[in-house]
C-alpha cells in the first residue's frame, strides 16, 4: 500500500517553518510497512492544493494532508478536499460543541470564525480525541482515502497514532511488523563507516531482512539504522538484537548511544555510574556544553558547573591564569586544570582553538583539554565549517573524548 504526504502552508515554501511533520509521518509509515514514495509541499492556494491532492491520488492509495485546518482565511484545506471529493462542506454541531467547550474551559469566549473548523466535507468522518480546535478528518474517496491533520506537531502526532496509522494498517491488510533501532556513532566519516560495514551490508542485501542504512546528522554524528520485519514483535526485536551485536563488534567504541540517547546523556550516565563529577570552561564552545549537560543533569549531581570566560581579564580573575594562551595546546591544558581546581570536581574540561583568536583565520583547529587526578591531556581536532559549526562540533568532540577516557579506565 502506498501513502503520500502533502504538507500545506506558504510558510513552508518560504522557509519560515521547517517541515518536520513530513519526516515524522514518513518515519512512522515505514515502521508499519506502508510505502511512501512522494512528499509534496504546497502553498495556501486552493487550486494548487486541489492539484496536489489529485496528483497524489493518481499514484497512491492514501494521502495524508497536513496543515491548513485552522480558522483563518488562508486555512482552506477543508474546501480543497471537498472539491476533490466532489461534495459540499457540512456543518457538524458536535465538532462545534467540542471547540466551544475548549474555549469555555479556558475562560475565554470563542471567536465566530472558529466555527468554520466545524465544517467538514460530506461523507468525511472527524477523528476522535480532538486535542486542539482543528478536527482531523478521514475522507473516503471510493477505495482511497484522504486524511487531514493539523500542522501543530503535538496534535498531528496524537491523531496519527490513535487513528490514522491503525486505519492504514487495517486497509493494507498487512500483518507484518516493522521496527528499527538507531545506533549513533562519532569519530568516523560516512565513507569510512560504509567501508567498515560494506561486507555486512552485502550479506544482508542477499537476505533482505534485516537491513542497514546510514543517516548523517551533522553535529549529532552518523547514525546506523537497523530495520527488521516479521510477523511478531518478539521475532522482530530478536532479529534487531542479533544484528546489533554484529554491528557493535564491527564499529566498537565509535558507537556512543542508541535511539533517543545523546552524547551528553551518555556521558552523564557514565559519570553517575562511576561516581565522578565534572566541570567545564568553554572558550570555543561559548556555553553550549554547559547548556546541554545541565539539561540532562538539572540538579548538578555530576555536572557541577561551567564557565565562559571570554576575555583574558576574566580568565585571570576567575581561574587565576597569568598567561593568556588561548587558542593553543598549552592553553587548553591550563584551562582544564584550573577548571577542575576551581570547581573541586573530579574532572575538568576545556575547549579553545584558533577561532578564539581575533583576526586569525583557521580551519577549525581546536584543542580539547581534560584534567583529572592523574594529570592533564589535550586532544587536537580539526573541525569543519564556520565558527558556529566549530563551536557545536567542539562540544560533541569534547564529550566524546571524555566518554572514551572513562571507558578506557
Enumerate the domain spans of the chain.
Answer: 3-172, 177-258, 263-408
Calpha distance 94→37 (Å, rounded): 36
pTM confidence score: 0.72
Preceding peptide of 388 cis, ω within 30°:
no
DSSP-based three-state secondary structure for 387: helix
Neighbours of 60 (CB within 10 A): 21
Q: Is 204 exposed, middle or buried (0-12, 13-18, 19+ CB in 10 A)?
A: middle
Q: What is the pLDDT along the chain (409 residues), one digit of tens a residue?
A: 899 999 999 999 999 999 999 999 998 888 787 888 999 999 999 999 999 999 999 999 999 999 988 787 778 999 999 999 999 999 888 888 888 887 877 777 777 777 788 888 999 999 987 787 788 999 999 999 999 999 999 999 999 999 999 999 899 887 677 788 999 999 888 888 889 999 999 999 888 889 898 887 777 888 999 988 888 889 999 999 999 999 999 999 999 999 989 999 999 999 999 999 999 999 999 999 999 999 999 999 999 999 999 888 898 889 888 777 888 999 999 999 999 999 999 999 999 988 888 776 566 789 999 999 999 999 999 887 788 888 899 999 999 999 999 998 7
Between the CA of residue 232 and those of 208, 228, 360, what are the distances in Å? Answer: 17, 11, 59
DSSP tag of 259: T
CATH number of 177-258: 3.30.70.2860
The CATH number corresponding to 3-172 among 3.40.50.700, 3.30.43.10, 3.40.980.10, 3.30.450.270 equals 3.40.980.10
Domain 263-408, CATH homologous superfamily name and number: CinA-like (3.90.950.20)
Of 114, 110, 50, which is closest to residue 78 (Cα–Cα)?
Answer: 50
Calpha distance 350→365 (Å, rounded): 14
- Name the helix (H) or strand (E) containing 185: strand 177-185
CA atoms within 13 A on the CB side of 128: 3
CA dihedral 88, 92, 96, 97 (to 10 degrees): 180
Phi, psi (rounded to 5 degrees) for 26:
-60, -40
Amino acid at each position: 500500500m502506498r501513502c503520500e504526504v502533502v504538507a500545506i502552508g506558504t510558510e513552508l515554501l518560504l522557509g519560515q517553518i521547517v517541515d518536520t511533520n513530513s519526516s515524522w509521518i514518513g518515519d512512522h509509515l515505514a515502521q508499519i510497512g506502508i510505502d511512501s514514495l512522494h512528499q509534496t509541499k504546497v502553498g495556501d492556494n486552493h487550486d494548487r492544493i486541489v492539484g496536489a491532492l489529485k496528483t497524489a491520488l493518481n499514484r497512491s492509495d492514501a494521502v495524508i494532508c497536513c496543515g491548513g485546518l485552522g480558522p483563518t482565511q488562508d486555512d482552506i484545506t477543508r474546501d480543497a478536499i471537498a472539491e476533490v471529493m466532489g461534495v459540499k462542506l457540512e456543518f457538524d454541531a458536535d465538532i462545534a460543541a467540542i471547540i466551544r467547550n475548549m474555549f469555555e474551559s479556558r475562560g475565554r469566549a470563542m471567536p465566530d470564525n472558529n466555527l468554520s473548523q466545524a465544517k467538514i466535507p460530506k461523507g468525511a468522518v472527524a477523528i476522535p480525541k480532538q486535542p486542539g480546535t482543528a478536527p482531523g478528518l478521514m475522507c473516503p474517496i471510493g477505495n482511497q482515502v484522504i486524511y487531514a491533520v493539523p500542522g501543530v506537531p503535538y496534535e498531528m502526532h496524537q491523531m496519527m497514532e490513535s487513528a490514522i496509522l491503525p486505519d492504514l494498517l487495517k486497509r493494507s491488510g498487512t500483518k507484518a511488523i516493522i521496527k528499527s533501532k538507531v545506533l549513533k556513532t562519532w569519530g568516523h566519516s560516512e565513507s569510512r563507516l560504509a567501508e567498515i560495514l560494506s561486507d555486512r551490508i552485502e550479506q544482508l542485501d542477499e537476505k533482505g531482512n534485516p537491513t542497514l542504512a546510514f543517516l548523517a546528522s551533522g553535529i549529532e554524528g552518523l547514525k546506523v539504522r537497523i530495520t527488521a520485519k516479521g510477523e511478531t514483535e518478539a521475532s522482530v526485536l530478536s532479529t534487531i538484537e542479533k544484528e546489533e551485536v554484529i554491528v557493535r563488534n564491527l564499529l566498537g567504541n565509535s558507537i556512543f548511544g542508541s535511539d533517543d540517547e545523546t552524547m551528553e546523556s551518555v556521558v552523564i550516565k557514565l559519570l553517575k555510574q562511576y561516581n565522578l563529577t565534572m566541570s567545564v570552561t568553554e572558550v570555543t564552545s561559548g556555553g553550549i556544553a554547559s547548556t546541554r549537560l545541565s539539561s540532562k543533569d538539572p540538579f548538578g549531581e555530576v555536572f557541577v558547573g561551567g564557565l565562559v570566560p571570554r576575555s583574558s581579564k576574566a580568565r585571570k580573575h576567575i581561574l587565576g591564569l597569568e598567561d593568556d594562551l588561548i587558542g593553543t595546546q598549552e592553553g587548553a591544558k591550563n584551562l582544564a586544570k584550573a577548571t577542575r581546581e576551581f570547581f573541586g570536581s573530579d574532572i575538568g574540561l576545556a575547549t579553545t582553538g584558533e577561532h578564539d583568536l581575533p583576526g586569525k583565520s583557521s580551519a577549525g583547529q581546536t584543542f580539547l583539554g581534560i584534567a583529572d587526578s592523574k594529570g592533564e591531556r589535550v586532544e587536537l581536532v580539526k573541525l569543519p565549517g564556520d565558527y558556529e559549526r566549530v563551536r557545536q562540533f567542539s562540544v560533541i568532540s569534547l564529550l566524546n573524548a571524555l566518554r572514551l577516557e572513562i571507558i578506557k579506565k
